[in-house]
C-alpha cells in the first residue's frame, strides 16, 4: 500500500478521476471478453478437422519476437506515464511515439504471420474450428492493438496542441492503462495459445 501526498494531474478533477475509474471497470469487462475467447479457443483446440494443428504452425522465433516487442512497448509506455507526472510533454510524447512504433512492429509481424499461415500453410479461418478460434482470438487482440495505435495518435496530437492539461493528462494515462492491459492479454495468448500449442 502506497500513499501519496500529491494528487497527480490526471486525477485532479472529479471528471478525470471518474473517467479513470470507468476505464478500469471497462478493463474488468475486457478481461471477461477475452476469457470467453480463450475458452472457445481452448475447447476447439483439438478440433482441427484434418487441417494443420498448432504444432504444425507455430514458430518459436516469430512469437518470441512479437512477445518481446509488446513487453518492451509496455515498458516504454510506462516511462511515458512517469513523464506525464513530471508534466513533461516532450518526454511523454517521445515515449508514446516509441511505444507506437513498437506496436506497429508487432502488428506488422502478426499480419505477416497470418499471411504466411493463409498463403503458405493453407490454414484459414474456414479450414477448421481450431483455426477459427485461433484467428479470432489472436485477431481480436491485434484489432485492439491497432485501435490503440489510432487512439494513441489522437492523444499525441492533443498533447502537442494543448500541452499537459487535466483533460489531456487523463487521456494519456488511460491510453497507457489500455496499452499495459493489452500486454497482459498477450502474455496469456503467448501462454495459452503459443506455448500450449507446442505442448498439446
Partner 1 sequence: MSSNNHELNKFPWKHVIGLALSLILTLIALWVVVSLSLPTVATLTIIVLLAVCQAFIQLLMFMHINENHGRGYRILAIAFGFYIAVVVVYGSLWIMWFTV
Partner 2 sequence: MIENIKSFLGSFFVTGDPMIYGADASIALATIGIVFYLTYFKKWKWLWDEWLTTVDHKKIGIMYIIAAILMLFRGGVDALLMRAQLIIPNNTFLTSQHYNEIFTTHGTIMIFFMAMPFIFGLMNIAIPLQIGARDVAFPFLNAVSFWLFFLAAMLFNISFVIGGSPDAGWTSYAPLAGLKLDPGVGENYYLVALQISGIGTLATGVNFLVTIFKMRAPGMTLFKMPMFTWSTLVTSIIIIFAFPVLTIALALMSIDRLFGAHFFTIEAGGSPMMWANLFWIWGHPEVYIVLIPVLGIFSEVISTFAHKTLFGYKAMVWSMIAISVLSFTTWLHHFFTMGNTAWVNSFFSVSTMIIAIPTGVKIFNWLFTLNKGRIEFTTAMLWALAFIPNFTIGGITGVMLSLAPADYQYHNSYFLIAHFHNVLIAGTVFGVFAGLHYWWPKMFGHVLNERLGKWAFWVFMISYNICFLPMYFIGLMGMTRRMYTFPSGLGWEPLNLVITLGAFGMGVGFLIMVWMIVYSAKYGKRDTTGDPWNGRTLEWATSSPAPEYNFAHIPQVETVDAFAHMKEKGTAGNIYKAPFQAIHMPNDTGIPFILSVFFFIAGFGLVFEWYWMAIPGTIGIIVSMIVRSFKDHEDHHHIPAEEVEQTERAAGRLS
- Applying CB under 8 A, the span of 31-39, 101-109, 112-120, 158-166 interacting with partner 1 comes to 31-39
Q: How many helices (H) and strands (E) does the chain have?
A: 7, 0
Q: How many CA atoms lie within 13 A of 21 on its CB side?
A: 7
User: Does residue 183 bind partner 1 (CB under 8 A)?
Assistant: yes
42 makes contact, choosing from partner 2, partner 1, none, with CB < 5 to 8 Å by partner type, with partner 1
- Applying CB under 8 A, the span of 98-106, 132-140, 153-161, 174-182 interacting with partner 1 comes to 174-182
Least distance from partner 2 to the Cβ atom of residue 14, Å:
8
Q: Are 184 and 34 in contact (CB under 8 A)?
A: no
Q: Are 9 and 87 in contact (CB under 8 A)?
A: yes
100-127 b/e (C-beta count within 10 Å ≥ 16 → b): bebbebbbeebeebbeebeeeeebeeeb
* Contact positions vs partner 1 (CB under 8 A): 1-8, 11, 17, 20-21, 24-25, 27-32, 34-36, 38-40, 42-43, 60, 64, 67-68, 71-72, 74-75, 77-79, 81-82, 85-86, 176-177, 180-181, 183-184, 187-188, 190-192, 195-196, 198-200
Amino acid at each position: 500500500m502506497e500513499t501519496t501526498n500529491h494528487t497527480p494531474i490526471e486525477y485532479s478533477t472529479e471528471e478525470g478521476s471518474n473517467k479513470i475509474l470507468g476505464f478500469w471497470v471497462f478493463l474488468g469487462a475486457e478481461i471477461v471478453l477475452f476469457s470467453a475467447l480463450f475458452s472457445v479457443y481452448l475447447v476447439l483446440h483439438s478440433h482441427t478437422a484434418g487441417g494443420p494443428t498448432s504444432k504444425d504452425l507455430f514458430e518459436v522465433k516469430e512469437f518470441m519476437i512479437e512477445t518481446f516487442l509488446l513487453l518492451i512497448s509496455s515498458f516504454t509506455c510506462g516511462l511515458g506515464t512517469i513523464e506525464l507526472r513530471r508534466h513533461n510533454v516532450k518526454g511523454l510524447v517521445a515515449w508514446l511515439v516509441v511505444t507506437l512504433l513498437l506496436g506497429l512492429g508487432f502488428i506488422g509481424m502478426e499480419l505477416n504471420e497470418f499471411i504466411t499461415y493463409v498463403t503458405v500453410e493453407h490454414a484459414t479461418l474456414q479450414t477448421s474450428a481450431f483455426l477459427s478460434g485461433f484467428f479470432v482470438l489472436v485477431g481480436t487482440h491485434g484489432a485492439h492493438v491497432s485501435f490503440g495505435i489510432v487512439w494513441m495518435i489522437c492523444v499525441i496530437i492533443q498533447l502537442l496542441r494543448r500541452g499537459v492539461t487535466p483533460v489531456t493528462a487523463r487521456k494519456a494515462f488511460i491510453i497507457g492503462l489500455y496499452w499495459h492491459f493489452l500486454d497482459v492479454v498477450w502474455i496469456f495468448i503467448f501462454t495459452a495459445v503459443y506455448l500450449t500449442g507446442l505442448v498439446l
